Amino acid sequence: MRWHHVAAAFWTAGLVSLAAEPAAALQIAPPDTLTLDTLPVLGSRVSAEMPLRTRSVEVITRSDLDRLPARSVSDVLSWSTGVDLMPRSPAQADLSLRGSGFEQVLVLVDGVRMSDPQTGHFDLDLTLPLERVERIEILRGPASALYGSDAMGGVVNVVTRSEPAWTGRLEGGSFGTVSAAGQGSVPLPGDLRLHVSGERGSSEGHRDGTDWETRIADAGLRAPLAGGMLSGEMGWARRAFGADGFYADFPSFETTRTRTASLRWRSDPGARVRVEPRLSWRRHDDDFILVRDDPEVYRNRHASTQYGGEVVVRGQVNHRISLAGGAELFRHELASNSLGDRSESRRAVFGEAAAGSPGGAELTAGLRHDHHDRWGGFTSPSLAVAWEALEGVRLRTSAGRSFRGPSWTERHYEDPAHQAQPELRPERSRSLEVGIQVDRIQDLAFDLAAFHRRSRDLIDWARPAGSEQEVLWITRNVVRATTRGLELTGHWSPDARTRLELGGSLLSVAARGDEGFESKYALRPITDELRLGVTREFPELLVASARLTRARRVGESSHQRLDVRLELPVMSGAVFLDGRNLLDSDHLDVTGHPVAGRALYLGFRVGG
């Protein structure tokens, strides 16, 4: 049987089953039916729930993660509306939100900054497997007033699991791919709890020069202390991968190592005034060989380190007004044979106020001032307002000002295909968003948002249009760029066993000062996209999930992608079959080469 017959049969079965009367079945919970941490980690320093009402926030829960045909955080993000994931291989991917550049998105793990000061190419080099993840929070839109630089397009925060259950996964399939992962925790004397996780995987790659191998390990320790909770985390990851054509037309190879550590204390969540100090450290090593079989031709070795701390104080004035404030100080260092040895510091103070209550009008206002050794000071204000006009119908609007200083790579990198410019100016932007949310009216919920972002001195790699390959890509500031967009997300559960999802976006980018140049990254967003998803539970038999995407990038034709997961419960786990790119789309990835073709993966998951 041919693959397109398999896909057609699956969709037919799914559509026919919608008419069936629901029997004794598992309930499919909507993703916004959840309780976030008592203390917030994304979208607000004050409230855990208010960002879901005042901003464009998506929360991917643990149950969602189990049903997606995905093995990494990167895979999961590729199915989110407004997210443009640009993978080179399963070992590395660039991340964009709402048409931003990959340098304009901030990545956090439990609120700790993971974005790399050398280059945004390494932002998703995380040190935890997908099994360790409790949920993924995506804030679309500016967030410099909360998190400072890099948050022009939005923020992704990965929240780790805390429950003691043990889980594991083993899978293999196309392109010689095999992987295994597991996580769990054990109690220790003195009310301590140790949580550990790990993953190892490898593949021959979908074309010559795209083989990869990954190793990941993570450990965390939690203990009650002084009426609060003390948490420490350490992580390590190594990724080695063929990088043929990744950054230029050479048969390259790259090895990265990431090490992280953090320590934080949270006071009693029920206290009127709550304090959270945090220390964190991250080191990233990159060894890039331009010609894999002849390392002496050209080789880059970089080691970037960022370390520092922050303290946040939160309190409630009364049942309607909450306040938060704090400060942070971080140091960035780089040792590189091509970029030089460099160091810079940044510091910031911030405050936020929230007023109102669910069911009425709610408002959050934030203000942050950052100071950087190289760029000086920058003040970022933000304001968000929501109003429940009717029961289950909420109107919202938000505005903010953001900035980003150029990375060390954008200022100092040189190789046979690239030439950075040291005197780049920081990017600055102003954004406005309006939206409407409808929450579960007759099992239907949707969110519609329109946004406008005006950027000044946008940083881009570019070269004269129509250039031959030997012409260098150079960094430069685009005078002005305006991004406008429209996003729609929604879900509907016609019965207890079925869930349908819809996501779509339209985007336009206009730039002044771009005449005669072609953009490598910043001005090549996905301009229109449609996502359809269906999950169907067949009681005591299997769970079937499918995700179909149709998208088009600037300067390219539209493409389609269909991924499917079939999951059969077995004992305390499940056997799953993933079909990826079942339509065998051959559109180009960010390197200009065809994406991985049709693939099958068979695996077993144990635990919940």
Q: Kindly state the tokens that stand for 211.
A: 């083989």
Split at pLDDT 50, 70, 90, the class of 271 is: confident
pLDDT at 511 over 90: no
Split at pLDDT 50, 70, 90, the class of 20 is: very low
Between 273 and 21, residue with greater pLDDT: 273
Among candidate residues 46, 25, 5, the one with its CA nearest the CA of residue 146: 46
pLDDT at 391 over 70: yes
pLDDT at 8 over 70: no
Mean pLDDT of the chain: 88
Q: What is the pLDDT of residues 484-497, one digit of tens each?
A: 999 999 999 999 89
The CA distance from 124 to 106, in Å, is 10
Percent over 90 (pLDDT), the chain: 65
pLDDT at 329 over 70: yes
Q: What is the pLDDT of residues 226-255, one digit of tens each?
A: 989 999 999 999 999 999 988 878 899 999
Q: What fold, for 3-537+549-554?
A: Maltoporin; Chain A (2.40.170)
Q: What is the pLDDT of residues 569-579, one digit of tens each?
A: 998 899 999 99
Alpha helix stretches (DSSP H) within 281-418 = 408-412
The CA distance from 336 to 532, in Å, is 45
- Residue 417: the pLDDT is 84
Please give the average per-residue pLDDT across 406-421, as a whole number.
90
3-state helix vs strand vs coil in the chain, percent to 5: 10, 60, 35
- Residue 36: the pLDDT is 45
- Residue 11: the pLDDT is 32
Split at pLDDT 50, 70, 90, the class of 107 is: very high
The CA distance from 595 to 60, in Å, is 25
Q: Kindly state the tokens that stand for 434.
A: 């309006």
Regarding pTM above 0.85, the answer is yes
| DSSP state letter for 188 | E
Q: How far is CA 101 from CA 75, 134, 345, in A?
A: 19, 27, 23
- Residue 32: the pLDDT is 40
- Residue 479: the pLDDT is 82
The CA distance from 514 to 376, in Å, is 27
Q: Are 102 and 119 in contact (CB under 8 A)?
A: no
The CA distance from 312 to 315, in Å, is 10
- Residue 29: the pLDDT is 39
Q: What is the pLDDT of residues 110-124, one digit of tens each?
A: 999 999 989 989 999
Which of 145-149, 222-226, 235-239 shows the highest mean pLDDT?
235-239
Q: Are 38 and 48 in contact (CB under 8 A)?
A: yes
- Residue 187: the pLDDT is 94
- Residue 596: the pLDDT is 92
Tell me how many degrees the CA angle 519-524-525 measures, rounded to the nearest 5.
160
Q: Kindly state the tokens that stand for 2.
A: 């041919």
